[in-house]
Structure 1
Amino acid sequence: MEIHGIFLLCHLFLALGVGVDGFPMNDLITKLPGQPDVNFRQFAGYIDVDDGVAGLSFFYYFVEAENDTMNRPLTVWLTGGQGCSSVGDAFSSVGPFITTKNARGLDRNLFSWNKVSNLLFIDNPIGAGWSYSNTSSDYIHGDDSTKKRLVTFMQKWYETYPSLKSRDLYLAGSSYAGHYVPNLANALLDANKQSKELKFNLKGIALGNPMLRRKLDLLARYDFFHTLGLVDSGTYGEAKKDCNTIDENNYFSKFEANWTYTCDLFMNYTPFMFHNDAFDSYYENSKLFDAIRDPCDGNLKDLILGKELTKVSQGVDMCTFLRPNFYFNLPEVQKAFHGNRTNSHIHGWVVKI
């Protein structure tokens, strides 16, 4: 009778689209196009974060740890931008795969964080990746609305994955996640004080190349350029003194800073002249992420034509960040991910270049 009962229960779970571990089997990814065989599962889908008719939904990608899944912590990864896809960024940063040279398949990421943790990538805010709303005003957002929506997402995601509720939780990210992650961490701790049931077992945060305050970030960046000898000490000293007159509270990239002429020249142009005699905006932007190595020498058009992007500089694959933009726009990839359920033509993928 006990065996018979377990048999019926399993079938009931399957009929409801729920696995025996409580995971939603409708979100299970059978296999991504061009993916090598692996011993862990992947899930992707939508979490509706409103109870009304707005249709506000976050897209997520969940990857189990390579081993001892049920005892590993959960790490949430949020990419900055603002507006870059965290799911897309997974395939050029801490996720289990990176794209092949022609961006039509996948290789294992030797440095994936799922070697030690379960991973959750969230397309955030609304409008990033496949996250969307049926209400146009939802696309106008700031740090406060983004934080509140992420808290709701986490609450509802745990309802979908109940066996992960008690796990140690870590929040991590890059770029504008310097705002997303601390804001979310504080909000989750506040939610713990107000809730008698669900408690977020938050253990820590990690930020990589974060945007914190615009003034401090820029000054630190050019401190680095100076240590590389890209700016002479005299120019550096004068400009650094001049730039220190800027309002320290001006840290949003969309706000115009009141640079003086000397500071503007120093901040925006001078260091890149040491890399490239002919000013080039693509070359300049690439140097924001790697001041030493030469950038990828290909583009999306090359991938469309079937070419491979193979630029390696000082042992580093410099095209890693570009190729997911192509891979995620392949129809078979979107189908495998259960993504773009609105069949929208405006959901391009923005990953750091």
Structure 2
Amino acid sequence: MKIAFHVFLHFSLLVFVSCYGSNGYDPLENALKIQRLKRTTPNHESKEDVTAENSYSPVYMGPQDGLKDADKISELPGQPTGTDFDQYSGYVTVDPNHGRALFYYLAESPVNSSTNPLVLWLNGGPGCSSFGNGAMMELGPFRVSADYKTLSRNKYAWNNVANVLFLESPAGVGFSYSNTSSDYQTGDKQTAKDSYTFLVNWLERFPEYKTRDFYITGESYAGHYVPQLSQLILQNNKITNQTVINLKGIAIGNAYVDDETANTGMYDYFWSHAIISDEIHEGIISNCNFTEAGNITTACDDYQGQARAARSNIYFYDIYAPLCSSSSNSTPSISDFDPCTENYISTYLNTPAVQQSLHAKPVQWESCSQQIGLFWTDMPFTVLPVIQDLMASGISVWIYSGDTDGRVPVTSSRYSIDKLQTSVKTSWYPWMYEGEVGGYVVGYQNLTFVTIRGAGHFVPSYQPARGLAFFSSFLEGKLP
């Protein structure tokens, strides 16, 4: 088994590319394969009490004097004239002994920045960049143009209504780094601890945000990151004399939260959207047991392989989107997502002048780390118990889903919510945006579920206007 495991790792490293969906690259599935293989290894302990109280250990607090001013961005190369908000970026040390530091980017609001809430955004993967993917491709204030050099304004950016903080986590992702190579073998627990250490130090650097309403948002594998970090914040708010973080709510999009529902929901979605045949779907239903105790049989593995082959050459993060083509010679409007955007971002962020303006260490920036997911050390089978804890805590808990995503589709989110066994308070209804259905919403006891019509895995990329409308409702604490 150990030999097979290392052969798999070696092969995976050879075939990996660093962009979501490029040539079928799927960072989440590659990480999950490793974890499923571990669970079938004799004597491997897969069960974890993910709701257990973490024993408190003192959090590293570093000196922050003068660092805010040093982090202020004077101007990004290619930035449009008339930019009317402040930007900051730089590093926060989370472990001085290891030389481990996390990179952040803050886009403050053009209006009411002194009173608007603070929102942390986390991309998933595990191993994918919250700055390059989250800020530059999804909800941030700028888009990179097709000339690879200039930026255009995203009029539906989320910093219109909040001060948005993008964190590259864990170390090894994006511009974040460690001087200790073993730190790149990390997992859920360490990621939550480092993100918490980042936050309390960052709030010392930006003390004006200490008492501000605080929200955490993210997508995909951030379905683990966001609930785990939120739980740690609430625990430490009670038991430490550190900064009390004023956490008001979380929103997780197309979120991987439970392995069983992620699988059953994905294959049901493929079948209901005419991606796989009746025979393949029936073969998966009959031969696959996706529960934690279930083993992946040879027959199940064969049918899953047939499903991948049947899916063929589509971008299954948005099943109706065109692929990036070498014949593309123009950038579509902001509401019509350009499938080559990741290429523009990669070139831009690897320009020395851009890295210098961001106060980033000179590195070969990648959309997703090629090794983080491969060497992930701990990944609970489900975080639904953590979400239940958060629902009971009184903070606002929202799950949202772009309905054209095939990676963590709307069916998976609905199956996960069924497992939470919470009662309906407001029945399913269409919410409207500019006279059209923006999506659908259900209000549960201590939970809100929202779909965004016509959006894929990266909701603000594909439906920026509807995404901002949903996000504004979340911050206001009312159903859209």
The reply to whether TM is greater than 0.5 is yes
Aligned to 1:273: 310
Aligned to 2:41: none
Aligned to 1:85: 129
Deviation at 1:325, TM superposition (A): 1.3
Is 2:328 the partner of 1:291? Answer: no
Aligned to 2:348: 327
Is 2:161 the partner of 1:116? Answer: yes
The equivalent position to 1:75 in structure 2, one of 102, 116, 119, is 119
CA deviation profile, 1:113-141 (whole Å, cap 9, x unmatched):
11111000111110111111111222221
CA distance in 1, matches of 2:65, 2:231: 34
Deviation at 1:155, TM superposition (A): 0.5
8 A contact 1:41–1:64 mirrored in 2: yes
User: For the pair shown, which has the larger CA radius of gyration, 1 or 2?
Assistant: 1
The 1:17/1:147 distance shift into structure 2, 3 A limit, reads: closer
Deviation at 1:240, TM superposition (A): 2.0
Is 2:124 the partner of 1:106? Answer: no
The equivalent position to 1:169 in structure 2, one of 202, 205, 214, is 214
CA deviation profile, 1:142-186 (whole Å, cap 9, x unmatched):
111111111111000000000001111111111211111111000
Q: Residue type matched to 1:170 in 2?
A: Y
Q: Residue type matched to 2:350 in 1?
A: N
CA deviation profile, 1:16-37 (whole Å, cap 9, x unmatched):
985xxxx811111111111113
Deviation at 1:229, TM superposition (A): 2.3
Alignment length (residue pairs):
305
Q: Residue type matched to 2:75 in 1?
A: K
The 1:111/1:223 distance shift into structure 2, 3 A limit, reads: farther
Q: Residue type matched to 1:29 in 2?
A: I
Aligned to 2:73: 29
Map 1:171-320 → 2, pairs under 5 A: 171-196=216-241, 198-243=243-288, 245-248=289-292, 258-261=296-299, 263-270=300-307, 272-273=309-310, 276=312, 283=313, 286-287=315-316, 289-298=317-326, 308=329, 310=331, 315-320=336-341
Aligned to 2:29: none
8 A contact 1:216–1:248 mirrored in 2: no
Aligned to 2:368: 350
Deviation at 1:63, TM superposition (A): 0.7
CA distance in 1, matches of 2:112, 2:341: 29
The 1:310/1:165 distance shift into structure 2, 3 A limit, reads: same
The 1:331/1:349 distance shift into structure 2, 3 A limit, reads: farther
8 A contact 1:129–1:348 mirrored in 2: yes
8 A contact 1:32–1:337 mirrored in 2: yes
Q: Percent identity?
A: 35
CA distance in 2, matches of 1:123, 1:82: 11
8 A contact 2:65–2:205 mirrored in 1: no
CA deviation profile, 1:287-322 (whole Å, cap 9, x unmatched):
2x0112221124xxx9xxxx856589x943222333
The 1:168/1:269 distance shift into structure 2, 3 A limit, reads: farther
CA distance in 1, matches of 2:354, 2:305: 38
CA distance in 1, matches of 2:246, 2:121: 16
Deviation at 1:227, TM superposition (A): 1.9
Q: Give the 3-state SS of the residue equivalent to 2:202 in structure 1.
A: helix
Q: Residue type matched to 2:301 in 1?
A: D
8 A contact 1:45–1:338 mirrored in 2: yes
- TM-score, reference length from structure 2: 0.59
Aligned to 1:148: 193
CA distance in 1, matches of 2:170, 2:84: 31
Q: Residue type matched to 2:356 in 1?
A: K
5+ unaligned residues in a row in structure 2: which ranges? 1-63, 370-456, 459-480
5+ unaligned residues in a row in structure 1: which ranges? 1-15, 251-256, 277-282
8 A contact 2:280–2:307 mirrored in 1: no
